[in-house]
Structure 1
């Protein structure tokens, strides 16, 4: 009997200890839950106020690949702080604008849309139009005409370069002529000296001795073909008589 009583006492002690441990775990879970409910995360409490509502921004979120696009009907006005003294205070040094205001853009039409039919017709003759940034017509001189004719027949100038057949039947009216400026990495490879530089394409071709010999050889070949053709035709007509 005494042995059974000792076993019962051991079981009662184990059950009491297990019950106490379970109560402690439940109390710890309840306290942890109350702490998480009362104190939210710092990410939820910290909020930045930019001073501008999202719908008033001059950019619009497209929700596609994280890209944004500008709103054409809005404009941005930057207001700088007006300082009364010439020497600024060291404690109030500010970089950038003091205030950014986003306002609807003023309803102004481009100059090309305000023209009447007569003005548009005149401007079409004088410039290439607003789509080409109102590029003016170039004054056609004899040098420019020669350069354009050479560009038109560029396929026969260099035998080692092949170009697509041009579709230009008449000389263009609106075009621009520029000068190629080599970069610093091409100082010894592609840079032309003042002595080598020419004013137009014709002078550049005439200054090239290799090109001149090629043009002379081709000219003599063409002249020889023409002479042979005329001699054969003259002999054929003579035999018919």
Structure 2
């Protein structure tokens, strides 16, 4: 029992010693925190950590920082343009004179490509558009193609049905040109005598350009509007030579018809009787 009491007393003394040591250490730490040197060290550590964070932020590639003081302006270009190509315009000396085109750069480029043996492809033609600006359909293109005879025939137009009766009379007058001049022979056309259906699909009527006569008056080629005829047939009827030849042919036809007409039978029988 004496040994147990001694051990208990030793344990109590040990615990009391440890408590005293902890109290001494806490008191020493509290004294250390309160000192000015400790506060200065903490402030220095905070400054170092802030500087390190700012340096890391400056070197980060995700952020762009504009420093206006370090921006340099680009240098001004030089006034000397160097060697320039030859001019393709020749300007006039006076103020009112118009410049003359000496050469065409686009043509020269094409010629250079041809000399070098490069196949020059023509630029694609622009699409055909209607009046409203829309592209033409295949049916509309086909209809437009039928309106003219094509560039090989100088885009001769196909006339409308309303003009066909008027032009039919003039075409028939041209086909009867055999009867106007007895000294000329014209081959007969296949469509002759078929009426309006025999007209060609594409044809055009020309106009004689009037020329000035040497004395300033009217001539056969230069008639005033009051003396001009409306159609080709009217001009042919008004021609004196054509009238004379037509009258001659009319009398010949009348004589042939008169020989076969009424009151000619007795004359024929009298001619058949013998003279003896």
* Normalised TM-score (structure 1): 0.46
Greater fraction strand: 1
Q: Which has the higher contact order (CA 8 A, sep 6+)?
A: 1
Q: Which has the larger radius of gyration?
A: 2
